[in-house]
Amino acid sequence: MSTILPPLWLRPEAALEEKSITDLLEAVTRLVKLPRKLMWLDYDSEADVLYLHFEPEPRSTHSEMRDDGVILDYRGNRLVGLTVLEASQR
């Protein structure tokens, strides 16, 4: 027996899905411009921190905190990731 769903515009979760897709597409247009093509994203909603890694298991030797709340993580001279504080406010 198949389930008949109401039209997309009547489903509240569909609006959320559409908004999420729109937000994702806006981010994608910026992400593809980065020089590194492989990346991993983790978002901690409780801390409102976004982690962006350019290696599967980044191990940094040092970090630099910028004035805008972004922490750059390096291994030697190579940028291996960054941490964005207050990510949802950007």
Element (H, E) at 76: none
DSSP label at residue 3: P
Low-confidence stretches of the chain (pLDDT < 50) are: none
* Tens of pLDDT, residues 25-40: 888 888 888 877 788 9
pLDDT at 22: 84
pLDDT at 38: 86
pLDDT at 21: 80
CA 35/CA 31 separation, integer angstroms: 9
CA 81/CA 63 separation, integer angstroms: 9
Neighbour count for residue 44 (Cβ, 10 Å): 11
Domain boundaries, the chain: 8-89
CA 14/CA 59 separation, integer angstroms: 39
pLDDT at 45: 93
